[in-house]
Amino acid sequence: MKYDIIVLGSGPGGYVTAIRASQLGFKVAVIEKENLGGICLNWGCIPTKALLKSAQVFDYLKHASDYGLTIKEYDKDFNAVISRSRGVADGMSKGVQFLMKKNKIDVIEGAGKIKPGKKVDVDNNGTVTEFTADHIIIATGARSRELPNLPQDGKKVIGYRQAMSLPDQPKSMIVVGSGAIGVEFAHFYNSMGTDVTIVEFLPNIVPLEDEEVSKQMERSMKKAGVKIMTNASVEKVDTSGNGVKATVKTAKGEEILEADILLSAVGIKSNIENIGLEEVGIATDRDKILVNDFYQTNIPGYYAIGDVVPGPALAHVASAEGITCVEKIAGLHVDKIDYGNIPGCTYATPEIASVGLTEKQAKEKGYELKIGKFPFSASGKAKASGAADGFVKVIFDAKYGEWLGCHMIGAGVTDMIAEAVVARKLETTGHEIIKSIHPHPTMSEAIMEAAAAAYDEVIHL
């Protein structure tokens, strides 16, 4: 079977790439060995948000009296919460199936392996079929990274996939790593009533964020009952007993933590093994496929996008890379992606959203800065909503007014960050944000207030 484009993998990089290619008139096939939608729809972005929504509703019930409401009896059904999450994921995967049919994209089930000559072998339960294409796009994604001292057995030492489908709620859990995955699961299980301890190797949790955001997140999580150990590393784990014993090294020495389950959230590993890269001669470096600005590998006709290439391992980045890749193949005028303007979001409580440079990064680059902060404790909407934790922090270049960075922590900020992304894309200045009328009362007006604070014009603080 001959195609114009074959996409290997159907995650948010792969299936979006396939749809855009079909829109551009290409004959397209997608190869998928498991579920359409990949990890994001089935075991990542979407089902985790369903779990976090259940946690949010449960937190509302626990704090109903704060809103003048009396609820005498309430409880959780952990298995029902997990079941709802799986149902949401299944529904989204079926939605991708519909999109494949709508766009006349062939879905080829099985494990794909690329070959020289722009060919792909697909193994479906032992039956191997060869396909050819003018262009082959690798979008095989990533999986939970395993460290030598933290081998995952899927039962007592688990990755994010098992954390979404545990048969029973653990009474206690150790979470190793405090990036988005670690913090989101720590929040979920803590909200459900599990005793949670986070172990982070670096000095701050959510270490990629602006330092003030990291410190606020630590305060908020400790207030909610999560134990946090920073500057700490898990040296070894013992799973011989009923639960897990983790030996943790800190500045004070070693101590042993005991829990029912340990969740390893120390990053991801690109899925680049056993897909034929070596046979074709495609160049890799440090677990990533090397590509140019338009995702071409060193071998003509072969491309790669998403978690398997250098850059942020985020669903929206993979989608954008795939669209850019096929539009370039189609001969359209395409600008390369600006990786300095990629938003990042963490969906715990409070939420975190950020784009651009942190204060530290901006100073290291030599900018003279104007920095504005507006706390949600001064926001009428936040106070009325019972969500006064957090703030918006904006960073501008003092000389030209360029918006260098925006960092938010608070309720709903993941839905607010797009304003900063679009404004930065359009080269909007701080004064233009101040003079753009924001609706009141809303959480989003905190962006305008923070910009005003940077220029000593803030009204409500």
Size of the chain, expressed as the number of residues it contains: 461
178 annotated ligand-binding residue = yes
273 annotated ligand-binding residue = no
- Choice among 63, 407, 438, 440 that is catalytic: 440
13 annotated ligand-binding residue = no
β 127-138/2-8 pair status: parallel
State the Cα–Cα distance between residues 334 and 408, nearest whole angstrom: 31
| Coil, strand or helix at 431 | helix
112 annotated ligand-binding residue = yes
182 annotated ligand-binding residue = yes
183 annotated ligand-binding residue = yes
Which residues touch 26 (CB under 8 Å, ≥6 apart)? 3, 4, 5, 326, 329, 330
Q: Looking at beta carbons, which pairs linking 429-434 to residues 24 or more positions away fall under 8 Å? A: 429/396, 429/400, 429/401, 429/402, 429/403, 430/370, 430/372, 430/394, 430/396, 430/401, 430/403, 430/454, 430/455, 431/401, 431/455, 433/394, 433/403
State the Cα–Cα distance between residues 451 and 392, nearest whole angstrom: 9
Q: What are phi and psi of 449, to 5 degrees?
A: -65, -40
Degrees, nearest 5: CA angle 114-291-24: 75
430 annotated ligand-binding residue = no
Residue 461 Cα distances to 168, 372, 378, 384, angstroms: 47, 11, 7, 17
Question: Helix, strand, coil shares of the chain as percentages rounded to 5?
Answer: 35, 30, 40
Degrees, nearest 5: CA angle 240-241-246: 75
β 233-238/351-356 pair status: unpaired
Degrees, nearest 5: CA angle 263-161-245: 20
49 annotated ligand-binding residue = yes
460 catalytic per annotation: no
Binding site for NAD(+): what residues are annotated?
A: 177-184, 200, 267
Q: Which residues are catalytic?
A: 440
Binding site for FAD: what residues are annotated?
A: 49, 112, 307
Binding site: what residues are annotated?
A: 49, 112, 177-184, 200, 267, 307
